[in-house]
A and B are shown apart, each in its own frame.
Chain A
Amino acid sequence: MPLTPILTAHWDDEDSHTLTGYRRHGGYDMVAVTLNSNPDDVINLVKESGLRGRGGAGFPTGMKWSFVPQNDGKPHYLVVNADESEPGACKDIPLMMANPHALIEGCILASYAIRANHAFIYIRGEVPHVIRRVAAAAREAYSAGLLGKNIQGSGFDLDLVVHAGAGAYICGEETALLDSLEGRRGQPRLKPPFPAVAGLYASPTVINNVETIANIPTIVRNGADWFKQFGTEKSPGFKLFAVSGHVERPGIYEAPLGTTMRELLDYAGGVRKGHELKFWIPGGSSVPMLMPEHLDTPLTYEDMGALGTMLGTGTPMVFDETTSVVRAISRWIHFYKHESCGKCTPCREGTFWLDQILERFENGTAAETDIEKVDEICKQIAGRSFCALGDAASTPYAPALRYFREEFLAGTHTPANQLFDPVASTVFTGAMA
């Protein structure tokens, strides 16, 4: 399947991130069109397109928008989840750097559809330059009358606030994001009520991923049929696939859903010269790993689901034979332990425990009983925690154990870095110019 630069089409313009640069390619043309139409028509269009949320869950976007009650007398809010913090995920940050106006135009159109007069873009705090870019783009949009009161004489008001987080992966969970945006600790909320009914400030709220919203202007411009020509029936459209790891040319590859990993690997120059693929992960670290034999499965929500993993953020990580699986799993579990919000017992205590045991594996001091123990601990977390972080933390181990049991066994007597030289897995020699 060929690459299809659509969202990325003009990223190589010097001024792609500016209003001028965006307008040059028809940017913001859809504002007048949309504001002149019926908001329900916008929702139906997005529904018809079959667009699924690009933040990892893959929930149908149009359906999410339609959950917002109409004529309820409460303010509605659009919140963009730009908290991209999943290990391996790196598509939203480049999009906001290269073309923040696509996100802003998407915000305008989406807000209009759900009858929101306030939109927030919650960007993780660790990327100040992204925040600068998006804030600058917002200022440009305000000056151009594309944000603020009575946009282009339509009578529609929209205030956009660019909001910086402060370092918490859990704030990528939509209800934790809402609590964080309200100025609280970022801990997830009980559902029901669902955000569409009671979200930000207990009012109807739609939370969407950056890439999802960035798709909206394109869908509005080109229509549902055009959109559905890409991808599959259950996974229509195209995707920013950010390929990273032991490949020749890591980077963003925009392609239709349904492209295979083998094709993406090819585009990315293949596994780095002189090395072989050991394992890969289709999304971020929260989804089960896959092996070379899975390279030809289409990258769609349904096909990845059928393999027992998930498409997730669609940002594949590639690891070659120099990689210690034990080391990889250990670091990911350390990440989840560090990021666990602490609200629920299984995740808070379970990741704390897992981290200690995995470190033993990495140091070669694990006990044989630890192998099953870790598996059982993971089973005690998965499906029992308050939110998906617990599930995510307990996901990587079982497939890793299934495919690489001998490495974990070796972890009972030999440190990982003796089995797999850390120098060999570095890409220093392949550093870009």
Chain B
Amino acid sequence: MTVTTPGAGTPATQPLDGINVSVDGIEVNVPKGTLVIRVAEQLGVAVPRFCDHPLLDPVAACRMCLVEIEGQPKPQPACAITVTEGMKVRTQLTSEIADQAQKGVMEFLLINHPLDCPICDKGGECPLQNQAMANGRGETRFDGVKRTFPKPINVSAQILLDRERCVSCARCTRFAEQIAGDPFIDLLERGAKQQVGIGDDTPFDSYFSGNTIQICPVGALTSAKYRFRSRPFDLVSTPTICEHCASGCSLRTDVRRSTVLRRQAWDNPDVNEEWNCDKGRFAFGYQADGRIEHPLVRDESGELVAASWPEAIAIAAEGLKAAGSRSAVFTGGRLTVEDAYSYAKFARVVLGTDNIDFRSRTATAEEADFLAAHVAGRFDGPSYADLEAAPVVLLVDFEPEDESPIVFLRLRKASRHGVRVASIAPFASSGLTKLKGSLISAGPGQQPALIASLTDNVAASDSAQTATLLREQGSVILVGERAAQTPGTLAAVADLARTTGAKLAWIPRRAGERGALDAGALPGLLPGGRPLDNDQARVQVAGEWGIEIDQLPPVGLSLTEVVSTVHADNSALASAADPTKVERSITALLIAGVEAGDLEDPASFLMAVDSVPFVVSLEQRHSDVTQRADVVLPVAAAAEKAGAFTNWEGRTQTFGQVLRDALTMSDSRVLAMIATVAGSQFGRGDIAEIRSEFRRIGPWSGNHTHMSDVGSVDTIELSSGEALVSTWRPLLDRGVLQEGDPYLAATARPVEARLSRATADAVGATEFVVVSTDNGSIELPVTITQMPDGVIWLPTNSEGSSLRVELGIGQGSVVRLSGGAA
């Protein structure tokens, strides 16, 4: 935009190709299609408004933004008028008519609005208050009876509605319908009784419902979590990055007296625009309650007791040093980039091992290969913007609404502008339907073949169009972390991308996974995606770490391989004639935030942790791992440290420390203390130091590894009454980071099993199904779904459906089905 002040020197010599308009006498040139209200904003003129929102289609309902436009007999809503050549606009600053019109509308808004400010959450950050002061009259002339409603009512377990406060701007209902695709709230009634409401017994359980609270310009929508908790002027705000999924949302975290009270979405046009999901917004109670407060060590009787930091660090250092290269490091997928880097360095420099793995979920060698070859240290994949411009976006083993909600929102925005979405999945989820997506139906195990058919362009007619569009410039493939669960899928996807030229992105479920990968927390990978067995790479990293090249260990083991090794050790010990002569291959474990229940075989993992002689746990909350550890060291939660997360795009975004007087230390600092006591050169664990070291190492510019041949899926013969399991984790489930937030939990989707009609009929499970394995059984209500026969879909870790822990199963497992009681 260009501004020329009248009479100030020579005018521009080049003709500008936008539209010339004047606002309050100031002449500007703006792009075609700009709304008058946006022009005014850019000039610093705040035309008051309620229903207008830059990310929602204009409705011109509130009439607060009325301005005078020369040639128009009536004042016009600035939010709905696009500029025309020569338009002369006068806002309330220079037009009496506009000013009186706005004051009039404000007076009307206040006649039925209750004087709730003293008890209303919004007070102090309220657009109605602010604009009433700026654009209203001081006194009201209303002396009648206000219309009232009983208040408040729940539109969901989390969201409360005070109907009297509502100014009918409809931002919330428009957001729900346009952006989220979840029209579970709508305007009800007519006239002055108009109110926002829900259908009977159908609460506003949308994953994005919290955004309506943030965009509500009054205090009509509030959250149960924050209601009555604070005044905005008591809050100290810090821009942060969300620690939950890999979308990379910018947040604003608000604190009062060392307690995080609220998180809101922050403006990041390239990533989350102005939205976030309810998990990112509300799930932070886990940081407050149930924290480990002191270091813990085992006393003589074997009980975990509190110890001082020096004592605990000394024991940890001694044990880890003694184990040396016979140790393994499991970092989990929730570390910041800096912390992950610290573990990666600690493993190689202090322990001398390459046994390090960040994957606390189903993970395979194929996946490690794939990540090393196609993801680690690579920053040329698609971005959010690319999603909006793609001819087609193909989803493989990826359910965006559950696994990366902001990707879902961007896809939905794209789909409303003609971008096609196709998904290789067992059934068309509600998320896919909201994207107007087409399903490429795949039961468990069928993915590689279907992907290959797209690669070879011999796809069945319904996916032929997808195969064609993938070959067009700008197409995108998004593959989820679940692809690792079906051998051959990742290799097939890599093939498809290479053949069609489509851009490929891998989207894990956790915020720390991509960063951990880039930091080198995977066997065979050094920071920046460097292959460990590449000489040049070794030179670069060793140099930076101040060690000799031959001090770098050989390629190590993944988590799965470590667990197998420990079990092999156990077997060897059990069967040895003289156990004292048998040496364990793994004698120590260093474990960060890993939840046993997330792994493929939790029982096997825990048995391994039990068996390993020395275990050090750096954790925030007690878990199955801390109970088995020899030393437990409490570490900082996300709000207690500065750091960065790298999202699925490869975009690294930093955040500051929210709780400035937190006494906890980051993993990096704790590791630095252990390293110092162990006598290793490591650094201080200082974030600036880590960042500059990591930056100096930088991404690998050499050749990445290639994927080696991968196995294929065994075809499984099902007996009668059996089915294959298809599973993933809904956004809201029993994840550890959602603990302590009951309101959020109450908005989760109903826990249910999905079966095709034929499968359900065959076992008499049209209403309820009993799913059994040798480990146990669960019973769930059934939703008949159009999906392949012989397949049952179950949520992985929800209430009443905890597949790994209760049944010992996962994706592709065989289960027995029978009908349940009504």
Contact = CB atoms under 8 A, between A and B. Distances in A.
A/B contact in complex, CB under 8 angstroms? yes
Interface of A: 168, 185, 190, 337-346, 348-353, 356-357, 373, 379-380, 383-386
B59 A190 contact: yes
B108 A356 contact: no
A185 B111 contact: no
Nearest to A373: B141
A373 B142 CA distance: 10
B579 interface: no
Nearest to B103: A380
Contacts of A383: 73-75
A352 B62 contact: no
A52 to B, nearest CB: 21
Interface in B104-140: 104-105, 107-109, 111-112
Contacts of B111: 349, 352-353
A384 B191 contact: no
Interface in B174-224: 187, 189-194
A293 to B, nearest CB: 28
Given A350-B108, A352-B191, A384 B66 contact: yes
What 3 A-B pairs are tightest by C-beta distance, nearest first? A342-B194, A380-B104, A349-B108
- Interface residues of B, dominant DSSP: loop
Contacts of B73: 383
A342 B144 contact: no
Contacts of A353: 108, 111, 142, 144
Contact of A344 (B61, B112, B141): B61
A126 B112 CA distance: 31
Contacts of A384: 63, 66, 74-75, 101, 104-105
A185 B193 CA distance: 14
A342 B190 contact: yes
Given A353-B144, A373-B141, A383-B73, A345 B192 contact: no
Contacts of A379: 104
A346 B104 contact: yes
B166 to A, nearest CB: 11
Contacts of A352: 111-112, 147, 191-192
Nearest to B104: A380
Contacts of A348: 108, 168, 191-192, 194
A352 B193 CA distance: 10
Contacts of A386: 60-61, 63
A337 B109 CA distance: 16
B167 A338 contact: no
9 contacts: A343-B59, A343-B61, A345-B61, A346-B108, A348-B168, A348-B192, A349-B111, A349-B112, A384-B63
B698 interface: no
Count class of interface residues, chain B: 35 or more
B80 interface: yes
A359 to B, nearest CB: 9
Contacts of B167: 345
A190 B60 contact: yes
B145 interface: yes
Contacts, number: 93
Contacts of A350: 108
A356 B192 CA distance: 13
Nearest to A383: B74
Contacts of A190: 58-60, 80
A343 B141 contact: no
Given A342-B168, A345-B63, A356 B145 contact: yes
B37 interface: no
Contact of A342 (B64, B107, B145, B187): B187
Contact of A340 (B100, B101, B112, B192): B192
Given A352-B147, A356-B144, A384-B101, A345 B108 contact: yes
Interface in B58-82: 58-64, 66, 73-75, 80
B104 A342 contact: no
A383 B77 CA distance: 11
B144 A357 contact: yes
Given A343-B168, A357-B144, A384-B101, 11 more contacts: A338-B191, A340-B191, A343-B59, A344-B60, A348-B168, A349-B108, A349-B109, A373-B141, A383-B75, A384-B74, A384-B104
A168 B190 CA distance: 9
Contacts of B142: 353
A353 B104 CA distance: 13
A383 B68 CA distance: 12
A342 B141 contact: no
A351 to B, nearest CB: 7
Contacts of B100: 380
B59 A342 contact: no
A345 B64 contact: yes
B61 A341 contact: no
B337 to A, nearest CB: 46
B187 A185 contact: yes
Contact of B107 (A168, A357, A380): A380
Contacts of A337: 191-192
A339 B100 CA distance: 26
